[in-house]
Amino acid sequence: MQFIDLKAQYCALKTEIDHNIQTVLDTGVFIGGPYVKELESKLAAFVGRKHCITCANGTDALQIAYMVAGIGAGDAVFCPDMTFISSTEPAKMFGATPVFCDITQDTYCLCTESLERQIQAVLAEGKLTPKAVVAVDILGNPCDYDAITAICEQYGLLLIEDAAQSFGADYHGKKCCAFGQIATTSFFPAKPLGCYGDGGAIFTDDDELADVMRSICVHGKGPGGKYDNIRVGVNSRLDAIQAAILLTKLKALAEHEITARQVVAKRYSQAFEGKLKTPFVAENCVSIWAQYALLAADTAQRDRIVAHLVAMNIPNMIYYPTPQHALPVFQNEPHYAETFPNANDYCARTFSLPMHPYLSEAEQQRVINAVLEVL
């Protein structure tokens, strides 16, 4: 059994993936080319955005978003305390200050009450300039974008949607990556839409922002091309083979994988309801279930369950064991009034089970039985 079975997915999509890869090899166009252009067009259409700019990975996508926003020293960037470091790493990299906010008790996404408290604390202190909010659709579950957007508009903050885990999810009828002035995602192999290496994408409806981001991706190129450098940029491109693979996977995601993920999640939730804290998805939202994360009663129970799963050769993971504020790299960042009770509690109790659209019912029942044996 695999935690995320990429081999099973490849076997299901092998004919078309192999054909597309062979086409790239035959043409010899490995950087850029028709597959990259087609993918960007289809990704933009899928999420309902005007522009999609592919890049080398999801972390680069976030870094480029920070760069185009001009985030730097003296700026405060607000982000959830429970996420992967790539959401906040660029703030530290560019000399800005990450200001962590607690998560909700149900969706585990950015808590809007905590966000507003932290914004007001920064303003009251007067040392930093509130600049941006990074809203992370954690575990594939969308944030409350109505509330977050309203707060950003009230305080004049740029909203960046970190949809690294949520490509394919819905919020009130709109796809994730459709929110904020800029949205980013990752095509790391384990993501709901993953390639066979690294890859990422940036989305916006703003023509000017799109032009600047395309420039940044290629060493700050100008109208004259990559030797006409008009700004400091990076080298961040999605290669043609990855684009060819993603075109096939995007089609499969839309046609059947989103539905299959819902079926797997529903089986798990029915089996564990009332025994463990099962994931919550808000009304009019669809999670893409990048991970299926349960909360045990406490750390001790979580550790017993994990130990039994390991003994039974059932893969499992903990997303994430440490909240951002407790990481050594961020230990000197200001906490203001927040003590992050929800993030601390989540990290102490969470564990995740195998989750992918090709997980058989028999495999899932084996996982369920192993967890129930401990309970």
Residue with tokens 């993501």: 191
Question: At 79, is the secondary structure helix, strand, or coil?
Answer: strand
Which CATH superfamily groups domain 256-374?
Aspartate Aminotransferase, domain 1 (3.90.1150.10)
Q: pTM higher than 0.75 for the full model?
A: yes
In the chain, which stretches have pLDDT less than 50? none
Strand order from edge to edge, sheet including 170-171: 174-175, 170-171, 285-286
**Which of 3.40.640.10, 3.30.930.10, 3.30.70.360, 3.40.50.880 would CATH assign to domain 6-101+108-247?**
3.40.640.10
pLDDT at residue 337 in the model: 86
**For 248-284, how does the pLDDT look when each residue is reduced to its tens digit (9 = 90+)?**
999 999 999 999 999 999 999 999 999 999 999 999 9
Residues of the chain with CATH 3.40.640.10: 6-101+108-247
pLDDT at residue 182 in the model: 98
pLDDT at residue 224 in the model: 92
Cα–Cα distance measured from residue 308 to residue 314, given in angstroms and rounded to the nearest whole number: 9
CA 176 centroid distance within chain: 10
Cα–Cα distance measured from residue 219 to residue 103, given in angstroms and rounded to the nearest whole number: 36
Closest CA to 213 of 81, 21, 340, 51: 51
Residue with tokens 């560019």: 94
Residue-averaged pLDDT of the chain? 97
Residues of the chain with CATH 3.90.1150.10: 256-374
Closest CA to 112 of 157, 55, 52, 165: 157
